Structure 1
Amino acid sequence: MLNVRILTEKVARVLAEEGIAPLCRRALSHLRGQRERDPFDVENGTETSGLEPLWKLSIDSPNARHGERYQATSPQELVSVLEYLGVDPASSTFIDLGCGKGRTLIVAARFGFGKVIGVEFAQELAATAQANLVSQRLDNAVVLRADAAEFTFPPGSKVIYLYNPFSEQVLAKVLDNLRAFRNDRLYVVYKSPRCARLLDECDFLQRHERAPRAPHIGIWRGVTAEARVTPEAVA
């Protein structure tokens, strides 16, 4: 399936915001991403590999033009971050916004989180993620086909994961929805954080040190507005 509307809007946005060179690099990266299953999938009998551009998918959200392609996270990288945070997984919820095919959900569920939630607005990706969870018999994980901008966060301790799933327009709405839980135990784990500025400027988040074995993943922790230290003050 070719979603011409999403493809056209995506090309126009990348050209306007980044220029022709990044657009060409993305096209080449997509072509390289059409490959066989990687070791994780071979070992587990799952389907989580490859690159999936949104213009190939069925999406009925007005925020589709602000979304980014699916690309799987390294399990080792994610586990190193979760171990570094030191949260009690059994009493916490892991939430992947833009979970794609669900690899992070599998890793987080096996890590021992009491509840794992994947939020994905592409019909095909959500269905694949759910099938992967069923095949692994993980009863502490679910996939919601929904727009991250409309997701209502649960109370309690949370680790929110993002692999650069959308642009600032959607992330701003996500942070507004998250504001009600500013006093909860909260971590935001953000791989390839292109929109880090919004988190740095957020009055209930504080940038945390990066995990030693995950240099491409940024970490922010929840704080009260009174306890927050600005990035400028830290520098």
Structure 2
Amino acid sequence: MAMTGRQDRQGVYDRSSGRLGRALAVLRERGPMEPFRLVRQHGLRESARFVGRNVRHMIADRLARRWDRAHGVDTAGSIQLAMLDVVGPNRDKGNECVCTSPKSFGFIMKNLPRDLSDATFIDIGSGKSRTLLLASHYPFKAIVGVEFARELVAIARRNIAAYRSPSQMCRTLFVVEGDAAAYAFPDTPLVVYFYNPFSKDVFDTVLDNLVASLRETPRRCFVVYGSSSHQAIDWARPAIRASGMFEELAVPRMPGFFDAVRRIDYAVFRFDPASRSA
């Protein structure tokens, strides 16, 4: 499979870097009239959208790398799975690893209760650990990442060891190396976070496992599903509703933050056994 991009400093394949360089290379190869040919082929409106998407991606990538430098970690990039060592049978059903932006995550967290001290935060498909590090600024009991790419697990563990911030409220962070479809949820109250990590059939399996765990050991649980591509929210939201376990909460629309490659569509669901038994 042809790939465009470059390896990042940890040796994993990153498609987010070098967009401007690749554009200049195309101009050198095809000549200065190439942009005009593309505009004639695709139309002015679609061409403007294409340029806008790439400019926004470059801005978000630059801000992500600035955040990494400020914290001494490596979480940025659009990491492709094809060249990684993956645990389990679901490599082809996973999506590229893209980190959640700090502003997007903070906006989502405003829709959850302030008292989270008894809850375990679980990021399903945790990649390089950006979301885990962001979650550590909230008073969770523990923070867990579930990741099936061994290289990303290694990077995440180095990030967790290196990351220090005076505003951290939880320092119990760790990453489980394994397929999310086989993950056993802990028996604590939960906040389960998905940022479009994989295809619908894998998600259905993970959701079934979560529902079974909540039925066996009823406890408070929030599910957050976010997606900025693949229209995944269009099938994830109905699947969570159809489980019959969760109540969907009314949440405000996500703004278009500069540190996010795209605006995130998201939904928040709650299971509270106390309210069900009342």
Would you say same fold, with TM above 0.5? Answer: yes
Aligned residue among 68, 72, 86 for 1:41 = 68
Matched to 2:214, the amino acid is F
1:11-160 counterparts in 2 under 5 A? 38-136=65-163, 139-160=171-192
Indicate whether 1:219 and 2:251 are aligned.
no
Matched to 2:111, the amino acid is Y
What is the RMSD of the two structures over their aligned residues, measured on CA atoms? Answer: 2.7
In structure 1, how many angstroms separate the alpha carbons of the residues matched to 2:103 and 2:194? 16
Aligned residue among 241, 244, 258 for 1:203 = 244
Contact 1:94 1:108 (8 Å CA) reproduced: yes
Q: Identity of aligned pairs, percent?
A: 32
- C-alpha displacement of 1:99: 0.2
- Correspondence for 1:19: none
With structure 2 as the length reference, what TM-score do the two structures score? 0.65
Contact 1:120 1:148 (8 Å CA) reproduced: yes
CA deviation vs aligned residue, 1:25-48 (integer Å, no higher than 9, x gap): 9xx98xx67x66523212111101
- C-alpha displacement of 1:194: 4.8
What secondary structure is seen at the aligned counterpart in 2 of 1:187?
Answer: strand
- Larger relative contact order (CA 8 Å, sep ≥ 6): 2
Q: Which runs of 5+ in 2 are unaligned?
A: 4-49, 165-169, 228-232, 256-263
In structure 2, how many angstroms separate the alpha carbons of the residues matched to 1:73 and 1:98? 12
Aligned residues: 200
Contact 1:187 1:220 (8 Å CA) reproduced: yes
Matched to 1:125, the amino acid is L
In structure 2, how many angstroms separate the alpha carbons of the residues matched to 1:166 and 1:143? 18
Contact 1:205 1:222 (8 Å CA) reproduced: yes
With structure 1 as the length reference, what TM-score do the two structures score? 0.76
In structure 2, how many angstroms separate the alpha carbons of the residues matched to 1:210 and 1:146? 32
Q: 1:81 to 1:60 in 2, by over 3 A?
A: closer
In structure 2, how many angstroms separate the alpha carbons of the residues matched to 1:223 and 1:46? 36
In structure 1, how many angstroms separate the alpha carbons of the residues matched to 2:235 and 2:96? 15
Contact 1:91 1:114 (8 Å CA) reproduced: yes
